[in-house]
Amino acid sequence: MTNKHLQETTTLNNGVNMPWFGLGVFKVEEGPELVHAIKTAICHGYRSIDTASIYGNEAGVGEGIREGMKEAGITREDLFITSKVWNADLGYDSTISAYEESLKKLGLEYLDLYLIHWPVEGKYKEAWRALETIYNEGKVKAIGVSNFQIHHLEELMKDASVIPAINQVEYHPRLTQVELKEFCQKHHIQLEAWSPLMQGELLNHPVLQEIAQTYGKSVAQVILKWDLQNGVVTIPKSTKEHRIIENASLFDFVLSEEDMKRINELNQNKRVGPDPDNFDF
C-alpha cells in the first residue's frame, strides 16, 4: 500500500473515512506545549488527533484543535478526533457518561472515533453495548477498541450488533502482531498502531539505520512508512515542531519489498507496554 499524501484516508467498515496518519498525545501534560503541538500538527496538514480520558489532557487538546482550525482555515468536519473510555468507567451508564464528559472537556459536539481503552474482563461487553447506543444515536461517527487480542474480539463479537471499526494496539517492528492483523483484516477491522517507534527504543537499530541511510530518511520515517505500507493506521507522538513535520514527511519514497521483509523479520513479540492478557489497572 502506497500512500500519496498526509491527508489520505482509509475507509472504515461503516463507510467513514479515517486518515492513515495522525498525532498521538499520550503522556503530554496539559499546558502550552500540548496546545502548540496540536496547533502545529493541524497547520502542517495533520487531520487526525488521538487522545484518551486517562491522558488527562482533553481540555488542552480541544484548545489546540480550536486554535489550529482557526489558523489553518478549516472546519471541525475536516478533522478526525479520537478519545477512549478508561477502565474505571467501563459499564453501560458509566461509559455513556464518560463519553459526554470527554466531549465537554474537548469542547466538541461529537467524536469521530471512540474506543474502549483496555479489555477489562467482565466489563468490556457492557461498555461495548453503551458504545453501540452512542453510535446508533448518531453521537459518534465510529466505534472501536484498543489493546484487544483475538480472543477478546471473538468474545465481543458474539453479542455485538456493530463490529468494531478499529483495533488500536501496540505495533512496531519488534511486535508485528501478524495473527491479530490477519484476524482484523478478515473481519474488516482496521488495525491502528500506538507506540509505533517503540518509545524510541528502535531508533538506534543497525538494520533500520542501514535502511534509513539507503533512502536518505530517518529511522522514524522508515518505521512509520513500514506501518503505512503494511496497511496499519499510525499515530506517532511528538510535541516538537521539527519532529511533527519530519514524522509526516513520508510520501516521497517507497520501501522495497525486500526492505519491508527485513523490517518484518525484526519481530520478537516484544512489548514496551502492558500485556492485554495480563494487566491490573
Confidence tier at 27 by pLDDT (50, 70, 90): confident
Say how far apart CA 118 and CA 116 lie, in whole Å: 6
Q: Among residues 46, 55, 114, 135, which one is catalytic? A: 55
The average pLDDT across 205-223 equals: 98
Residues 72, 74, 80, 83: is their CA dihedral positive or negative?
positive
Q: Active site includes 55?
A: yes
Q: Following CA atoms 37, 43, 46, 52 in sequence, which dihedral angle do they give, to the nearest 10 degrees? A: 40
pLDDT the model gives residue 1: 62
pLDDT digits (tens, 9 = 90+) for 125-165: 999 999 999 999 999 999 999 999 999 999 999 999 999 99
Q: Domains of the chain (ranges plus CATH)?
A: 9-264 (3.20.20.100)
pLDDT digits (tens, 9 = 90+) for 220-260: 999 999 999 999 999 999 999 999 999 999 999 999 999 99
pLDDT the model gives residue 231: 98
* C-alpha grid cell, residue 103: 466531549
pLDDT digits (tens, 9 = 90+) for 48-93: 999 999 999 999 999 999 999 999 999 999 999 999 999 999 999 9
CB distance 29 to 55 below 8 Å: no
